[in-house]
Amino acid sequence: MNRLQYLITAKTQYDIQSPFLYDLYENVLAARLDRATMKREGLRRGDRTGLLKYKLADHYRAKEAEDNVLVRADGSHIVLVCRPHRNREAEEAWEKLFKEPEVTLSVDLFDVGLLFTDKRLSKQQLVFRVF
């Protein structure tokens, strides 16, 4: 998928029906961090993956188990996949990851992909555009 295809197919907060997904969009993906938090946590505006990882861990009270893998208190995982569309091999790997039985939700943000293993969620793939 190239960036134009992504922009055409991506959903915004106005297309979301699920309370979980709306919460993810509003309180994590579209949430802004204040300067004091950024400074205290050593985050930079240009580090989108670092910012997203921090916001996910903070919102879901998750701890980093491995590089780009967060574990929630209920044992479910959130995996960040950097640049899933950089080339054909990366896209194939991204699709293969979603097909793993334990993965229930994938959220494609073009530059970063999120995989959730929360069994309370229905299996679905989403493409979100965050302004």
Domain boundaries, the chain: 3-127
| Nearest to 119, CA basis, from 80, 84, 72, 67 | 72
Please tell me the distance from the alpha carbon of residue 114 to that of residue 109, in angstroms, as a whole number: 8
Provide the whole-model pTM. Answer: 0.86
Please tell me the distance from the alpha carbon of residue 91 to that of residue 83, in angstroms, as a whole number: 9
Please tell me the distance from the alpha carbon of residue 26 to that of residue 29, in angstroms, as a whole number: 6
Give, for all 131 residues of the chain, the pLDDT tens digit.
777 777 777 666 666 778 998 899 999 999 999 999 999 999 998 888 899 999 999 999 999 998 999 999 999 999 999 999 999 999 999 999 999 999 999 999 989 999 999 999 989 988 888 75
Residue 55 phi, psi dihedral angles, 5° rounding: -65, -40
